[in-house]
Chain A
Amino acid sequence: MTSEEIFALLEPIIKTYLPQDVSAQEINRSSDLTRELNINSAHLVDIILDIEDVFNIEFKNEDMEKLRNVDDAIILIQQKISS
């Protein structure tokens, strides 16, 4: 899967958790999920669970610590898919 293909699947997941005052257009590959997109940190676990369902992979606690921006998620997903 290319990073573009992953992004296309990832974007709607992230969109679900955006606060009402943040537009989906603000999601790009370098967006920091909590600081820039202002996603409530408690929702990071929901994003992880949704990613697991869509990509049929499983994250570990350590993986979650690496998740800051959209690119981090794409890299993690690529590693999981290929392993």
Chain B
Amino acid sequence: MKKRVVITGLGVVSPNGVGIAPFSDAIKNGVSGIRFFSELRDLNFSCQLGAMPEISDEKKRAYLSDLQLRNFLSSGILYGIIAGMDAFKDANLEIAKMDEAPFWDMGIVFGSGTSGVEKFREAIYKIDDKNVRRLGSNSVAQTMTSGVSAYLAGIIGAGNWVTANSSACATGTEALLMGYEHIAQGKATYMLCGSTSDSGPYIWGGFDAIKVTNYKHNNSPQNVEGPMSQGASGFVPGSGAGAYILESLDNAEQRGAKIYAEILGGALNTGGQRLGGSMTAPNSTAIQNCIQNALTDSNVDASEIDYINGHLTATTKDPDEIENWSLALNRNGDDFPYINSLKGMVGHCLAASGSIEIVSSILQLNEGFIFPNVNCDVLHPKITAIISPEKISMKLRKTSLQTIAKASFGFGDVNACAIFKKI
């Protein structure tokens, strides 16, 4: 018998809000975190827009000691630590004391795409300069993929499974499902899960090179065509982190924890880079299978889904995603669930996209609202041919939600879908 798993804590470091309260306000009001970066212009980027959380030095010092912040260059690890510790505190949990046993029932799965590129860059220059001996002690910790989970485990004193996953833009949703399975199987009581992505040109450059980013609005970041719009022609690269405390329902009820939502189940698969799938493009059959498998795993009928938080990156592929949802759920027109995408406000936060978007999904489910799908004055006609425009709200909509779906799709043709229910 699987244990039931709920979410009891949330944390977020988003380009449009750091911390749950500011982020919640921002998404309700459609506040964009997309900005022009002169650094990207000076580096000859096609897309000179980006989305990056703003973290003051004072904020950094609230999470890390002066010693930890010495030569600290990993933006992704910083975001992950802040989001992770905020989720931990939001769940009203206490860290293990320094001279006592670790928190045996607390595990961590915190993923990333690549970690600490700025730190890696510094190290590469020193190594090429035949000065490897001058790297210092923190080069490894700040560049290892498991950096966030290792820092968080040390701060919290986590003593269960502590690891990092990586599945491109599906990383955050995958982390949630890994933590969910571990608790469902009775192997941990709590799992701190989430994902992070570094900021800046060394992360974003590869996407600029393959022309999947938006180069048309460098002078008017407020006008970038958003997800599902007719003019959507490329994403704006983002960064940040999202985190959630997963906990067994039994334990959450026993300690009287605030419960945001139940995780009913989910699915992970890949399209095998076959049937239209490739390193960069999805196999639509695999996406439909992933959504249907998530419903089966959750014991939920497609008709029960009230709302979808899409992957929807604001590229020409958005209509394909809508078609895949429609086919997978066998629903269209007015019968289609509400759907939106956060990427119009925060850009595509890459490895962090799934986790930041899950936080936005859980807030909507818990509080009963649907945030506006911004910068989408004219919907793509291929989308309105499948679903009713009523299902994509451009304004904040207050409505009770019961069962929702979140999916993330990533390079390598990987897919992740999770189903949540209000409790």
Q: What is the interface of chain A, defined by CB distance below 8 A to chain B?
A: 16-17, 20-21, 40, 42-43, 45-46, 49
Residue on A nearest B66 in the bound complex, by CB:
A16
Residue on A nearest B99 in the bound complex, by CB:
A21
Partner among A16, A45, A49 whose Cβ is within 8 Å of the Cβ of B67: A16
Offer 12 A-B interface pairs, CB within 8 angstroms, sorted by A.
Answer: A16-B66, A16-B67, A16-B70, A17-B67, A20-B65, A43-B67, A43-B137, A45-B137, A46-B70, A46-B137, A49-B134, A49-B136
- B62 CB to closest chain A CB (Å) equals 14
Whole-angstrom CA separation of A14 from B134 in the bound complex:
18
Whole-angstrom CA separation of A42 from B150 in the bound complex:
16
- B391 CB to closest chain A CB (Å) equals 53
Whole-angstrom CA separation of A45 from B136 in the bound complex:
6
Whole-angstrom CA separation of A69 from B98 in the bound complex:
25
**B122-168 with Cβ < 8 A to chain A:** 134, 136-137
- B125 CB to closest chain A CB (Å) equals 16
Q: Which A residues are CB-close (under 8 A) to B137?
A: 40, 42-43, 45-46
Interface residues of B: mostly helix, strand, loop or mixed?
Answer: loop
Q: Which A residues are CB-close (under 8 A) to B65?
A: 20
Q: Which A residues are CB-close (under 8 A) to B67?
A: 16-17, 43
**B64-111 with Cβ < 8 A to chain A:** 65-67, 70, 98
**B40-84 with Cβ < 8 A to chain A:** 65-67, 70
Whole-angstrom CA separation of A43 from B138 in the bound complex:
9
- B420 CB to closest chain A CB (Å) equals 39
Residue on A nearest B134 in the bound complex, by CB:
A49
- A58 CB to closest chain B CB (Å) equals 9
Whole-angstrom CA separation of A45 from B133 in the bound complex:
9
- In this complex, which of B65, B70, B136, B137 has the most chain A Cβ atoms within 10 angstroms of its Cβ? B137
Q: Which B residues are CB-close (under 8 A) to A40?
A: 137
Q: Which B residues are CB-close (under 8 A) to A16?
A: 66-67, 70
Whole-angstrom CA separation of A40 from B137 in the bound complex:
10
Whole-angstrom CA separation of A39 from B270 in the bound complex:
47
Using A17-B67, A42-B137, A46-B70 as known contacts, list a sample of 6 further A-B pairs with CB atoms less than 8 Å apart, ordered by residue number in A: A16-B67, A16-B70, A20-B65, A43-B137, A46-B137, A49-B134
Q: Which B residues are CB-close (under 8 A) to A42?
A: 137
- B99 CB to closest chain A CB (Å) equals 10
Residue on B nearest A16 in the bound complex, by CB:
B67
- A12 CB to closest chain B CB (Å) equals 13
- B371 CB to closest chain A CB (Å) equals 41
- B244 CB to closest chain A CB (Å) equals 29
Q: Which B residues are CB-close (under 8 A) to A17?
A: 67
- 8 smallest CB-CB distances across A and B, nearest first, come from A42-B137, A46-B137, A45-B137, A46-B136, A43-B137, A49-B136, A49-B134, A20-B65
